[in-house]
Amino acid sequence: MSLEKQNLIEENLQKAFNEDSFKQTLSAVDFQKYLDAKEILSFQKGDVIFEDGDTPKGVFFIRKGTAKLSKQGVYGKEQILRFIRDGDLIGYRSLLCGENFQAKAEAMTDVESTFLPSDFFLHLLEVDPKLSFVMLQKIAFELGESSNTVTFLAQKTVRERLAEILLLLEQKLGTDPEGFIKISLTREEIANIIGTATESAIRLISEFKQDDLIEVEGRNIKILNHDKLIKLGHVVM
């Protein structure tokens, strides 16, 4: 999982998907249409941004906060697909495919987003080559990450997967002033991310704590020994 590449793509997306960039690349008429079309939408922690199965009405550019994409399995168990942070765009895949949403998006913190209706977002892709290229990069990267996820689940032990996920969450979401990863996850959520039973996740987190790899305060986790986690998870940072 190349977090460096992902961060670069998200930076490029932020440069392309903002008012200053649109003012430079769009015609005066299209820029005014953008100003008229966009909406600033706010969501509180726990709010659903869109539901699995909903018809896409537009895309959401996350300006602030953290969200998650998840899907309910056959037996009703939630599977977290990925985390969304500020600077990311959601809702575009189903829109471009002409299908209903295939996952639920839920705010994990207070979230502020820029919403663009479907027809105008599609128009932007036609008239803004910089945005179109960044979107192609984003789609290609996520296709590659899907393949990596299959390998991740099939070839790594649960212990290795937990080590890698903690490192990736820290790099993607950052840490608070005390060094704790900026996300509060239940043991069940951690378990479904790494593909194991909740009991196994609880045991592994306890072992990591006893081995002084991490510090745990309730649902919050701080990495204490990055080198050992990198070695344990066979992670290329």
The residue with tokens 């941004």 is 49
- Where do you find CATH 1.10.10.10 in the chain? 157-233
Determine the pLDDT at residue 77.
77
Residue type, position 53, single letter: G
Answer yes or no: is pLDDT of 6 > 90: no
Determine the pLDDT at residue 99.
94
Determine the pLDDT at residue 10.
85
- Where do you find CATH 2.60.120.10 in the chain? 3-153
- Contacts (Cβ under 8 Å, ≥6 apart) of 17: 61, 89, 114, 131, 134
Answer yes or no: is pLDDT of 1 > 60: no
Over residues 96-125, the pLDDT tens digits come to: 999 999 999 999 999 999 999 999 999 999
More confident position, 186 or 1: 186
- Compute how many other C-beta atoms are within 10 angstroms of the C-beta atom of residue 13: 19
CATH 1.10.10.60 fits 157-233, yes or no: no
Say which range, 26-40, 52-66, 153-167, 206-220, has the weakest mean pLDDT.
Answer: 153-167
Determine the pLDDT at residue 214.
96
Determine the pLDDT at residue 3.
64
| Edge-to-edge strand list for the sheet holding 39-43 | 39-43, 111-117, 58-64, 89-90
What rounded mean pLDDT belongs to the chain? 90
Answer yes or no: is pLDDT of 230 > 80: yes
CATH 3.40.50.300 fits 3-153, yes or no: no
Q: How confident is the model at residue 150 (pLDDT cuts 50, 70, 90)?
A: low
Determine the pLDDT at residue 79.
83
Determine the pLDDT at residue 152.
63
Answer yes or no: is pLDDT of 5 > 80: no
More confident position, 143 or 40: 40
Average pLDDT, integer, range 207-222: 95
Average pLDDT, integer, range 190-195: 88
Determine the pLDDT at residue 126.
96
Determine the pLDDT at residue 123.
96
SS (HEC) of the chain: CCHHHHHHHHHHHHHHCCHHHHHHHCCHHHHHHHHHHCEEEEECCCCEEECCCCCCCEEEEEEECCEEEEEECCCCCEEEEEEECCCCEECHHHHHHCCCCCCEEEECCCEEEEEEEHHHHHHHHHHCHHHHHHHHHHHHHHHHHHHHHHHHHHHCCHHHHHHHHHHHHHHHHCECCCCEECCCCCHHHHHHHHCCCHHHHHHHHHHHHHCCCEEEECCEEEECCHHHHHHHHCCCC
**pTM for this prediction:** 0.84
Q: How confident is the model at residue 192 (pLDDT cuts 50, 70, 90)?
A: confident
